[in-house]
Chains A and B, each alone.
Chain A
Amino acid sequence: MNETERAEAFYAHVGSGGKVEADDWMPDDYRAAVLKFVEMHANSELMGVLPEREWILRAPTLRRKLALTSKVQDEVGHAQLLYRVAEDLGKPREQMLADLMAGTTKFHNVFHYPTRSWADVGIIAWLVDAAAIVSQQALRDSSYAPYARTMKKICWEESVHIMHGRDVVLTMMNGTAAQRALVQDALDRWWGPLMQMHGPPTDPSKDKDLHWRIKAKGNEQLRQEFLSIYVPRIRELGLRIPDSELEYDEATGRWHYTEPDWDELRSVVTGHGPKSQERLAFRRFNHGQTQWVRDAVLAPAAAAA
């Protein structure tokens, strides 16, 4: 079997629902595509820590303090698991961190925005995590088996975050007028990024991540699923969604909404979001401050090995 036939057999295998393990043979372009996808996911978990971390010291009750710290810790743990999956595809963790901090690799749009009040902590944990879990649940069927297995664990933990987030929001909506206003303000600011989060609709025949079943569902399908589940839940709490066009079309069975700002999405994920450079600078600063620890602890271990 020559290289082309081998690749054709591989794509026929994944196309019919077959799985790929780390030590299986795979075409270079499949390996590169999985690596890029998982690396961006890992980067997003690691950068997603920063907006919520700002509130770890400000959590207003002992229970919230524990829930928020634990949530952020889970995300660090997810980053660790995902970088491990990516490392097995051939790129060392330090290189991935260096590329992230240099701005040459990406992370999800929602982590480029500021958090302005405690209500943001609730909206992020509830709705950003909910939008993420819609796509992450689909990734449990990824053709790359180590990624699919990791997503099973991650999805379970994300479902706990959503409960914590909803409880923060619910408590504030049942509270004072000022608290309710904070939640509405947070939703107004986060709705645009949430609608952009799954990306513009793509042509399934040209989306190779979909074609190779690295991911199992298209962008628009994920957004529709998110809207179907969460629009009623958001409204149920007395919140107003800031999109006058948003409505469910019974005839087509689809949500109609104002076209998300795809220029904003492209600009944000290429490092031009309101907090992109500040957060990358913060990562670089802390990485630099702790370099001596890694040098001290990891170098002797490597020398001994």
Chain B
Amino acid sequence: MSELDAVPRQALAELLLTVADDEFVIGFWDSEWTGIAPMLEEDVAMSSISQDEIGHARALYELLAGLTDTDADAIAFGRPAADFRHAALLNHARTDWAFTVARRYLYETADAVRLAALARSSYAPLSELVTKMRREESYHLLHMDAWLRRLAAAAHDRLASALERAWPDAQAIFTPPAGEAALLEAAILPDPFAALHERWLGQLRPVFAELDLPIVSAAVPSDGRTRRTDDFAWLHGEFTSVAGSEAGATW
């Protein structure tokens, strides 16, 4: 699709950046559990999931790099914090295990809806990549579903309050990238994000009702992918500390 017009090309770049940054940032936060998770078995599992996310981010950044004539590491490590486009849900620090489970469950379910749509994208390199990603993501979803149910049964209040905290910013996963209209017109994005949001809520409602978990009323914020926090500024400082320590150095 090298013959892409400038308008959908720019919009595609924005779309790729939102998905890639989501995967990159959640992968970074949760990789912090490596070595200190609640149980050794879960430590290994959560680390695998984080590594999968970083791997997905790398593949998406590479796709984007091909469109914008740069390289994946430059996109990942060479941008100021303000240029990241991840959803506000991922602005929060790792926090505790309840928040990690709550955030991951909301993220995995929302991501599954988004990827199911992108698997039908008219832009073949994206639909092919997403098909591969979904194989790993379906395992993440099973794993987080098991944790959600376990904590709902054994630590209900902790989980419920973590979900209440994560919920408003989770809506930002469906904040559309700039240029959504052009993406829809070119069928790069088969469904509008507003429809994906409804689909996601439709899937969550029965699960939350079954487990007696709260759904807070919250709209999709228009600034959901541009708002940044001190937590993220700290994380950005960490992951650029070596990469940005000497101009021109290779690591």
Binds A, one of B55-63, B107-115, B117-125, B168-176: B55-63
**Distance A188 CA – B50 CA, assembled complex (angstroms):** 34
**Distance A69 CA – B54 CA, assembled complex (angstroms):** 10
- The count of A-to-B residue pairs whose CB atoms sit within 8 angstroms is 119
Contact B32 A57 (CB under 8 A): yes
**A71-111 interface with B by 8 A CB criterion:** 72-73, 75-77, 79-80, 83
Contact B251 A62 (CB under 8 A): no
Instruction: Point out the residues of chain B lying under 8 angstroms from A298, CB to CB.
Output: 39
Contact A61 B40 (CB under 8 A): no
Contact B77 A286 (CB under 8 A): no
Per-position binary interface string of chain A over residues 50-75, scored 1 when its CB falls under 8 Å from any chain B CB and 0 otherwise: 10010111111111111001101101
Contact B241 A62 (CB under 8 A): no
**Distance A55 CA – B32 CA, assembled complex (angstroms):** 10
**Min CB distance, B243 to chain A, in Å?**
4
**Min CB distance, B37 to chain A, in Å?**
7
**Distance A263 CA – B168 CA, assembled complex (angstroms):** 57
Instruction: Point out the residues of chain A lying under 8 angstroms from B155, CB to CB.
Output: 292-293, 296
Contact A53 B97 (CB under 8 A): no
Given contacts A70-B51, A290-B38, A294-B38, contact A58 B73 (CB under 8 A): no
**B221-251 interface with A by 8 A CB criterion:** 235, 238-239, 241-243, 246, 248-251
Per-position binary interface string of chain B over residues 1-44, scored 1 when its CB falls under 8 Å from any chain A CB and 0 otherwise: 00000000000000000000000000010011011111111011
Instruction: Point out the residues of chain A lying under 8 angstroms from B250, CB to CB.
Output: 171, 174-175
**Is B151 an interface position by the 8 A CB rule?**
yes
Closest to A294 in B: B38
Contact A76 B43 (CB under 8 A): yes
Interface size class of A (residues with CB under 8 A): 35 or more
**Is A49 an interface position by the 8 A CB rule?**
yes
**Distance A278 CA – B249 CA, assembled complex (angstroms):** 33
**Is A172 an interface position by the 8 A CB rule?**
yes
Contact A289 B96 (CB under 8 A): yes
**Is A297 an interface position by the 8 A CB rule?**
yes
**Is A244 an interface position by the 8 A CB rule?**
no
Instruction: Point out the residues of chain A lying under 8 angstroms from B41, CB to CB.
Output: 80
Contact A62 B38 (CB under 8 A): no
Contact B61 A62 (CB under 8 A): yes
Given contacts A58-B241, A66-B54, A69-B50, contact A290 B37 (CB under 8 A): yes
A/B interface sample: 15 pairs, CB < 8 A: A58-B239, A60-B77, A60-B243, A61-B77, A62-B54, A66-B58, A73-B47, A73-B51, A76-B35, A77-B40, A175-B250, A286-B36, A290-B97, A298-B39, A300-B153
Nearest first, the 6 closest Cβ-Cβ pairs linking A and B are: A296-B154, A49-B35, A290-B38, A293-B38, A60-B251, A60-B243
Which A positions have Cβ atoms within 8 angstroms of B? 49-50, 53, 55-66, 69-70, 72-73, 75-77, 79-80, 83, 118, 168, 171-172, 174-176, 178-179, 286, 289-290, 292-294, 296-300
